[in-house]
Amino acid sequence: FQMTGSFILPGQTLEDATAFLEPFFSTMTQLGVPLTQSNTTSITSQAYNARRTGQGEGPVGQIRFSSRLFPRTNWADPVLFNATVQSIRTAVEDGGYRVTGDSYAPTEEVAGFPNDAVNPAFRETLMHAVAFDSVSPVKDGRVLPAKVVNAAHARLDSFIDAWRKLTPGSGAYMNEADVQEPEWQQSFFGDHYPRLLHIKRQRDPLGVFWAPTTPGSEAWEVVVPDGLPLQTGPLC
């Protein structure tokens, strides 16, 4: 397999960043992991702008994926750390999935606003990992038979379930999560969900404003043949 990575280091010069990362590259070399540094850098006036590099309009992707938030405890405990690394390797080597990860520490002290809608699990997160299926459920503009799509999803979910078992009480980042995430209320909102559902019922008692995996959306269902996760059927 191969691995690529990028680093965002706010408030540092190119020289500072190079010195900061040197121990990482040296350690990887000592471990026998050959890394090729592209030395491609980009300097922005604000850290926020560093991630605003999208290409705008483009083709719509058709790849299924699923994700999990790994807390810092999975790195602090050696046994849990080894199990975590092995579960990711298994998804890549046995599952054949492409796994990407973002490492960050959005602690409450840094972010503030503890009463927002963000899943509290984010405050303990050290890595957001995503597993991508290489097989598209769409071919020549048509969705594959439901049996094929559901089987592929079940296979992907079996590998992600191993991640869930290693991260009890954590969750998933809803913008980059499985559209069929089980127990999504806990995964996406955590302990905030009861409060958010209460606000939703206060402001929209008839449930007029609806979107999948948002507070209160479990009261409605899009009915489609074969139970595929589509949005083309009636809302019941």
What are the pLDDT digits (tens) for 193-222? Answer: 999 999 999 999 998 999 989 999 999 888
Q: What's residue 158's pLDDT?
A: 97
Sequence-separated contacts (24+) of 82-90 with Cβ below 8 Å: 83/166, 84/166, 87/159, 87/162, 87/163, 87/166, 88/129, 88/163, 90/159, 90/162
Query: Could you tell me the pLDDT band of residue 56, with boundaries at 50, 70 and 90?
Result: low
What H or E segment, with its residue span, contains residue 67? strand 65-71
Instruction: Note the pLDDT tens digit of each residue in 180-198.
Output: 999 999 999 999 999 999 9
pLDDT digits (tens, 9 = 90+) for 30-53: 998 878 766 666 666 565 555 555
Any idea which architecture 14-47+61-227 has in CATH?
A: 3-Layer(aba) Sandwich (3.40)
pLDDT at 151 over 80: yes
CA angle at residue 99 from 97 to 101, to 5 degrees?
Answer: 170
Q: Which residue has the tokens 């206060």?
A: 202
SS3 content of the chain, % helix, strand, coil (to 5): 45, 10, 45
CA angle 129, 132, 138 (to 5 degrees): 150
| Distance, CA of 123 to CA of 105 (rounded, Å) | 7
Share of the chain above pLDDT 70, in %: 89
Encoding tokens for residue 122?
Answer: 């984010």
Per-domain residue ranges for the chain? 14-47+61-227
